[in-house]
Chains A and B, each alone.
Chain A
Amino acid sequence: MPSLRQMTRDSGYIFAGKVTGIERVADSLTADVSTVRITFQVEQGIRGVRTGQTLVIREWVGLWEQGERYRLGERVLLFLYRPSQLGLTSPVAGPLGRFTVDRNGKIDLQPDRIASLASDPAEVQLRGKTRVTRRDFARAIRRLVEE
């Protein structure tokens, strides 16, 4: 299983943000592939994006059909792969790269995530916690990047 350190290493974008747009981009040619365009308002940029920026990503529509979906207004913290040569991305390690952010801006760390975080000695700041602020989470990730 990937550790937080590995997930951070393989992420092109890490941020907490709000979903502000979802649009299916239909194929225009027979051989084209449909995608879903998702727009985020970045509330806490950690890697690859700045706080306050609008980020638009594209996901393969098959992934959307598989259940990897967003809702308008939803707040999430995402680790996203670097966009592929097709310009597509998705959360690193699927659901593991996606965290729920509550109304107070705190990130929900589910029990199995905590176990995963505890496996990496560098992730001391997050260990044993069930909720952390975006700022604390960002600090822990930046530390991982710097090490």
Chain B
Amino acid sequence: MTASWQRSRAAVFFVLPALALYLVFMVWPFLQSFWFATTDWNGATATKTYVGLANFSELLRDDLFWLALRNNLTWVVIGTVAPLVIGMTLAMLLWGRPRGFTLFRTVFFLPYVLLTVVIGIIWGWIYNPIFGILNKWLDGIGLDQVSRGWLGDPDTALLAVLLAAIWAEVGFVFVILLAGLQNVSRDLLEAATIDGANGWRRFKDVTVPQLANVLNVITALLLIGGFNVFDIIFVMTSGGPANATETMATMTFDQAFTQNRVGYASAISLVMTAISLVASVVFLRLRERGEG
């Protein structure tokens, strides 16, 4: 018996518990959801009637699903671009370690360590039409016509929740980008400066390319998060008012646990997985091509 085989065996021994958990709680339920999606199972009965692709064809005709998908796409676009832009701006401002660096870094990162429930409660208070600080502020500056129940108005609810999510997400993006900036070559920037490149050109053509890998990872995570968003919406609006903040994930939850339609919910969750997978792969391929 060789030493390398013994090492491998020990490695397998230590990996097995985690692998078992992964198989039981991730892989097996994922595979099962393919089966559930072809049944009309309500989550309780012992028998599951096979319905073929009926759940998927119903999905295509379900207005609520298209509304949820549209909300997801809004979330993906704004919820990806805004944290990236704000996080990058903040990281650039703090890159040179200005005075108060530690304080600002802590303040900007703080929202990210808060629990989603806490974020939901805080922003619920901010938006509250009775005592919320946002309406008080708007009233104070003479914009009382704009004041409203932000989470209760179907026209503003999604953006209001999205703003809370962006506030929480920016800290994460900022810290990762700030760490990435530490590896950006100062020599290259100085060379570009000597060559006459202005600030924007230095940022676009020198800094950003060196952050490509970091940006790829962050963007992919935000994209996937945008398609799967659930917790903050569940806490703040539960998909309401009038389905205005419904996303594929909240719809899946509602169908499975309120409407007792586990089969249909499985179909939605599979479509959601497929969409986020395709979007992530396409994004990464485009990035690779761009780099090539």
Q: Is chain B a partner of chain A in the same complex?
A: no
Instruction: Spell out A's residues near B (CB within 8 Å).
Output: none
Instruction: Spell out B's residues near A (CB within 8 Å).
Output: none
